[in-house]
Amino acid sequence: MEIGDISNELLKSAAKGDMDAFEAIYRASSGFVYNVALGVTGSREDAEETVGEVFVKLFESLRDFRFKSSFKTWMYRVAVNTALNLRKKAAGRAARHVELDENIGMAETAGEDNVEKSVTDNYNRDIVDNMLNTLSPDYRACIVLREMQGLSYDEIAKALDLNINTVRTRLKRAREILIKEVLVNELH
């Protein structure tokens, strides 16, 4: 089951305290929340912490969900806001680098082609993470939801509780910053 497959009945059961239903929701949506959080924070550790916080919030507030928006949109909003808050708290801490993918060790035993691909993938991911780190958390959230998660402008506006024109402006500015970053890196 994936997040889009979660039924209203399952949500209502979980809201009434059915732990099996809550666990099914967790299994169906925790990967989704992790990916959104990783895109926003750029840190596996922060993404894992965000997942924990999101599901505590979900457990405490699921009974307040009114089905006015889709559960997926609601989860986007909670995940992004939680990740942004965590990122803002961490702004004073030293910048961290995303650790190498754990699959490198497995790739090394599978052959040189896989090792080269894993190293290249990690290098590219580090470049993307470094570029995303040049953006403010608000710009980063918009660009991650649009370019990495594939949300429409309207979905981003709903997920972040923003006016659609604000989303357009943030995406435009984020793209301008990223383009400048690419040009600066090419000159060096």
Residue pLDDT, tens place only, 102-118: 444 444 444 455 555 55
Which of the residue ranges 3-12, 43-52, 61-70 would you say has the lowest mean pLDDT? Answer: 61-70
CATH level 2 (architecture), domain 1-95: Orthogonal Bundle (1.10)
Would you say the pTM of this structure is higher than 0.75?
no
Query: Whole-angstrom Cα distance, residue 49 to residue 37?
Result: 9
Q: Indicate the residue type of 183.
A: L
Residue at 60: amino acid letter: E
**Contact, 1 vs 26, CB < 8 A?**
no
Across the chain, what does the average pLDDT equal?
A: 80
Helix 153-160 / helix 164-187 crossing angle, nearest 10 deg: 110
Which one has a higher pLDDT value, 120 or 63? Answer: 63
Contact in structure between 75 and 29 (CB atoms under 8 Å): yes
In this prediction, residue 173 carries a pLDDT of: 93
Which pLDDT tens digit goes with each residue over 153-183?
998 998 888 999 999 999 999 988 988 887 7
- Range in 1-15, 31-45, 88-102 the model is least confident about: 88-102
For residue range 51-75, what is the model confidence (pLDDT) as tens digits? 999 999 988 888 888 888 788 888 8
Residue 28 identity: A
Residue 176 identity (one-letter amino acid) = E
Residue among 155, 176, 157, 177 nearest 165 (CA): 157
CA distance 152 to 61: 26
Alpha-carbon span 78 to 118, nearest angstrom: 32
Provide the percentage of residues in the chain whose pLDDT is more than 90.
Answer: 27
